[in-house]
Amino acid sequence: MELNQIAVPAVYLLIFFLGYPSQILFYYLDPAPLTKNELILSNVLLVCIFITYTQSVFVDPGTIPKKDGDGEKELGKMNGDGVGKGEKKGAGQRTKWCRKCDAAKPPRAHHCKECKRCIPKMDHHCPWTNNCVSHTTFPHFLRFLFYTTLGLSLLAYFQYIRISTIWSHRDLPAYLGPNPWLFAHLFFSTVVNGITLFALFVLFVRNVWCLAVNMTTIEGWEIERHRTLVRRARVFGGWLEGPDGGRVRIERQEFPYDVGIWQNIMQGMGTGNPLSWFNPFAPTPPLHTGLTFPVNGFEDASLSWPPPDPDRSYRRQPRLAPNYNSPSHPNANANTNADTDTKSNRITNNAEQPFTYSESNLSPTATLAAFRSRQAADALRRRKPFAQRMEAKLSHDRVANWDGYQSSYDAHDDGFSNRVEELGMSEDEDEELFDNDVRKRGSAGGSQSGEEAWRNSEGERLKDFGVDEEVEFYDEAEDDDDVPLSELLARKRAAAAEPPILST
């Protein structure tokens, strides 16, 4: 049985256990049962916890609408650049294309491997709600964390009073104190409540901070990834090579969606009314508000978010036809005036055989297995080049430790010494930083994972947030070759029909 099948019932059971039996327990413990006001406050918080958790579980995290039926109304609010009508285009507003959904993917949307679809403004897939924390569910999730933190803190206060009373009477005979069952219940509930309160309080503080800066958990990973690429680019002179051998310029780029704390909170909670922020029955934010987002304008409008990453793209190699006129070709001296049959025989006998479907006699299951095997081999082939370059660089640095840093890098303007001086670190600190960077990629020790296995400072990779790495990591930027022609024509018509925005 998987975790997502028992997580939600287990959380409901935990809320019930900490909520109701504890009230009965306090009735039998000194110094006194809970007062009427304490009971009312406890049960109001308990009801709020149940309501907000239920909403976090059952509210739809959102589906990116397609251009048919009702979806036309939603996507009609967004043009081909992912910019809402009337909004100013800025960095981060480029629309991408999801190969699995076969649909446009607005900014900040990600493909969830658990929900099997793209989720608007996806934060992460929470296993304890078996649902995505997204643009539509984040307000409910944050209210759940808020009321749970309050409720568990109140319970911890009540437990502290009873435990203090028992400790102050520790010199009295045992029969004057609580019986072993009550004492065991108090001890177990205190331990469970303490662990749960600590975990949820940390999660609540982190989500409040993300709300204040308008950043999702996935975007925090992308920011740290971008900083790593900037650090790597300093070593290679500001450029990094992709799997296809192309060079990409890497420059520091600011996060575009932090538009001020008040606007950030209103956007995250779906309203500017502070009373609605704490209302368990507050409505879910409409879907169309999660398709476009205002930007701060710190970066050029031509830039997108996440920033350029040379490894977040497929390796496309053109299929070359055999050149029979080449001197190195085995049939180069054949009679060029031969008839069609002779030419066909020459192609058949040539070492460069045309493609034949050699698996036509396999069963459907075996055919699928063979396809997945080729797919995995292709994925491995496109992931290895950068990992090999990094391992080569690490080996070079280790050799440089024996020969001396100064003699190894003085001849290179973009070398190790310049990087140390620019970052203001000692050589040992920078070497340790570089080693940690390579280890976080997950490629050390002969691992066949590519850059999608890169981990942040907390040891997390994209799949830990529920993201489908095969779709998400290698789908950095939209390539018009992957977009259907009908979609490109529709975007062109939408752009032509868009009225110009006049400045005043």
Where in the sequence numbering do the catalytic residues fall? Answer: 126
Alpha-carbon span 326 to 155, nearest angstrom? 83
Separation CA 269–CA 282 (nearest Å): 10
Q: Which residues pair with 110 in a beta bridge?
A: 119
b/e 328-355 (16+ beta carbons within 10 angstroms → b): eeebeeeeeeeeeeeeeeeeeeeeeeee
Q: Closest Cα to residue 491, out of 138, 78, 165, 87?
A: 78
Number of H helices, E strands in the chain: 15, 8
Residue 84 DSSP class: B
Q: Return the axis-axis angle of helices 36-58 and 138-168, rounded to nearest 10°.
A: 150
- The Cα–Cα gap between 387 and 304 comes to 25
Distances from the Cα of 9 to the Cαs of 46, 113, 127, 302, in angstroms?
16, 22, 12, 47
Residue in 316, 300, 306, 302 with CA at minimum distance from that of residue 242: 316
**Nearest one of 210, 60, 192 to 142, comparing CA atoms:** 210
**Pair 183, 236: CB distance under 8 Å:** no
Listed in sequence order, the residues at least 6 apart from 259 whose beta carbon sits closer than 8 Å to its beta carbon are 214, 267, 294, 295, 296
Contact predicate 396/388, CB 8 Å: no
